[in-house]
């Protein structure tokens, strides 16, 4: 058996040396090319380029995650901080009406992993993109005014969840890799936003939030809510 003293450094190295999302490949190449030019212009300036290239690699990291599989759980679709839990109507372009649902908002800063994952297993029954502004994603009105891409995911029993990618102040591209009719597993990758943004999750009716404002969420792993528990809950 490998000694614990050797396993810990290896675990740390493995957590850093992870694959990067394909959206990041060209950015890493661009940053690396600029770094070479900066070294040619002025050697100390090149080290700034090295730092930015390493940050770019870190930003587009795409680590594997271990997703809880119990039926009824709603899993975080993003890394970041839960900055809001409130009651709100889903985006109107989805055609779901004005009935208010519990919305959990997760804010991603430029150091979070930005790969987005499905909050539960089911079929994508609606995809709707809406252009908009690029306000600070931590603001409440960003959910209404900012550029966004929304999914409705439906389980076999008909229960639905809405997950919305919201662009942020410096985010200028939302990538959604799924179309209507696609079957997703809980925790399965479905898109990415660059560079700093927010994910809104509109919980199914009766779902019990299990996170608090200010809590750090991990995409594909943190349980946001339980949609089948009968325990009383408070927001």
pLDDT in tens, 39-93: 888 888 888 989 988 887 877 888 899 999 888 899 999 999 999 999 999 999 9
pLDDT at 1: 47
Active-site residue 227, yes or no?
A: no
pLDDT at 178: 94
Question: How much is the pTM?
Answer: 0.81
pLDDT at 139: 67
pLDDT at 194: 75
pLDDT at 10: 47
Q: Which of 138, 150, 197, 227 is catalytic?
A: 197
pLDDT at 102: 94
Instruction: Report which of 77, 31, 30 is spatially closest to residue 192, judged by C-alpha positions.
Output: 77
């Amino acid at each position: 058996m490998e000694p614990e003293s050797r396993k810990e450094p290896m675990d740390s190295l493995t957590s850093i040396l992870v694959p990067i999302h394909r959206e990041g490949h060209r950015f890493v190449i661009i940053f690396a090319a600029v770094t070479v030019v900066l070294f040619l212009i002025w050697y100390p300036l090149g080290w700034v380029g090295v730092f930015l290239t390493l940050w770019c690699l870190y930003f587009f990291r795409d680590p594997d995650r271990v997703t809880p599989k119990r039926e009824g759980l709603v899993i975080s679709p993003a890394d970041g901080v839960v900055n809001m839990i409130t009651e709100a109507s889903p985006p109107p372009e989805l055609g779901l009406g004005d009935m208010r649902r519990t919305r959990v908002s997760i804010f991603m800063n430029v150091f979070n992993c930005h790969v987005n994952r499905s909050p539960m297993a089911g079929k994508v029954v609606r995809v709707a993109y809406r252009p908009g502004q690029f306000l600070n994603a931590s603001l409440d009105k960003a959910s209404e005014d900012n550029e966004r891409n929304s999914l409705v995911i439906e389980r076999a029993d008909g229960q639905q969840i809405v997950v919305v990618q919201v662009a942020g102040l410096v985010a200028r591209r939302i990538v959604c890799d799924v179309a209507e009719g696609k079957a997703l597993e809980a925790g399965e990758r479905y898109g990415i936003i660059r560079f700093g943004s927010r994910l809104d999750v509109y919980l199914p009716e009766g779902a019990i939030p299990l996170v608090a404002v200010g809590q750090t969420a991990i995409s594909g792993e943190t349980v946001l809510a339980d949609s089948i528990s009968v325990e009383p809950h408070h927001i």
